[in-house]
Amino acid sequence: MNAAARFDDWDAATHVTNAAPNIVPPAPVSILAAAKPAAMPDIPPKTSNGSADAPNPLALAPIRVADKRIVNGQADINQLAPFKYPWAWEFFLKANHNHWTPLEIGMAQDVRDYHHKLTDGERHVFENVLAYLTTSDILAMRNIGLAVMEKMSAPELQIYQARQVFEEALHTWTYQHCIESIGLEQQEIYNRYRIVPEIHGKIAMASRRLEKVLRSGLDLADRANLHEFALSYFFFAVIFEGCWFYNGFTPIFALQRRGLMKGTAEQLQYIMRDEVLHCAFGIRVIRELLKEEKMVLDPHALRDLWDEAEAAERAYAGYILRDAILGYNADLHIAQFRFIANRRARQIGVAEPFPGAENALPWLDEQANLRKEKNFFETRVTEYQTGGGLAWE
């Protein structure tokens, strides 16, 4: 693969800076400029006999790659190529390799496990993880579709994000399928984020951090607005998807490691693959945006963001794991959150929020790979579907 098209170098650490934002703004660009290309220079077209006709007033200038930008671009948003961000197209192609539907994964064992094998504490964990995830993925779908995608001014970025919107809808279907298959009371599960303070706290923080840039008329030529957008997208890609989601499936995986709720866990492994790509794409976009706009994120704002995110995660872990389950507890959950947060910070090139945090769950990364033995005749062999060829962190 051409080096310019690589997408897996997002894991490399970049230069860490704690400098306060000192931004030199580009020339303001109108909203119409991103969608309306400049007029074609007056070059008279030739007729069939070689004579020159009058200039064509409807002709448009060819697209210049240099006019493309993450935001505030001046190129035609409707013209895909030539690419300025070929890595974004590679993300789209790669995402299509991990395709499934929840109906392909058997849930019969999960029904037996839930009703006959899980303890009360394990059922509490299982139900509340699903209650949180069902709301979170709908929020993620709306954020990408309404707050982020329309502000990107390069179509190769938007096309991957269109796939991401679909994937969030697929994830929501997957959770609903698990809830329905096991026979949980749907209204009660779906309403938990409204009535359980510790679940509501994470959703409320996400809504507050993301709604600031939700309005379509946000002027990103204004540097304060642009910094707010970058900080909001940092929260979404790095913390919401890269930490909360990546760490959020772990209680179910802890059950799977003991041979319990294996169908649900396999569903979450497919979702986790998507979320790893979502996070990787977001990190790449943020790195490119900061470089392109000659901007750094305010380290004090980042510190507040990390602290608020950890506090919400700590309260959530304390609730869902109020009674430890075999092999997993709230302290392990938070320790792993801090470790993953440091990893994401290194990947994007900012200071680690929790220096010295250790990898409390070294098996977690393995869960994203679906590399395990299966009975070929009894279940889907994931190694032989298109997602089996993907490379992950």
pLDDT tens readout for residues 290-321: 999 999 999 999 999 999 999 999 999 999 99
Say what angle helices 262-292 and 108-116 make with each other, to 10 degrees.
110
Q: Which of 130-144, 229-243, 309-323 has the lowest mean pLDDT?
A: 130-144
- 8 Å CB contact between 130 and 178: yes
Task: Give me the helix-helix angle, 223-234 and 262-292, nearest 10°.
Answer: 160
Contact predicate 86/5, CB 8 Å: yes
- Among the residues of the chain, which ranges form H helices? 31-35, 86-95, 108-116, 120-142, 155-182, 186-190, 192-195, 197-211, 223-234, 246-248, 250-256, 262-292, 299-320, 330-348, 364-367
Q: Name the band, by pLDDT with cuts 50, 70 and 90, for residue 205.
A: very high
Q: Is the dihedral of CA 286, 288, 292, 295 positive or negative?
A: positive
Sign of CA dihedral 125, 131, 137, 139: negative
Give the Cα separation of 360 and 364 in Å (integer): 9
Of the two residues 319 and 148, the one the predictor is more confident about is 319
- Rounded (10°) angle between helices 262-292 and 155-182: 160
Q: What pLDDT, on a 0 to 100 scale, did the predictor assign at position 8?
A: 44
Helices (H), 235-261: 246-248, 250-256
Residue 232 has pLDDT above 70, yes or no: yes
For the cut 80, the answer to whether the pLDDT of residue 164 exceeds it is yes
More confident residue, 72 or 169: 169
Could you please state the CATH topology (level 3) that the domain comprising 83-386 is classified under: Ribonucleotide Reductase, subunit A (1.10.620)
**Residue 338 half-sphere exposure, CB side, CA atoms within 13 Å?**
18
Question: What is the chain's mean pLDDT, rounded?
Answer: 81
The gap from C-alpha 8 to its chain's centroid, in whole angstroms, comes to 15
List, for residues 34-48, the tens digit of each pLDDT value.
Answer: 434 444 444 445 544
C-alpha to C-alpha distance for 109 and 327, rounded to whole angstroms: 21
- pTM for the model stands at 0.78
Residue closest to 265 by CA, chosen among 150, 138, 141, 363: 363
Residues 123 and 114 sit within 8 Å (Cβ to Cβ): yes
Ranges of each domain in the chain: 83-386
Amino acid in position 83: F
Q: Specify the DSSP class assigned to residue 328.
A: B
Residues 94 and 167 sit within 8 Å (Cβ to Cβ)? no
Mean pLDDT of 126-145: 88
The mean-pLDDT minimum among 3-17, 59-73, 141-155, 230-244 falls in 3-17
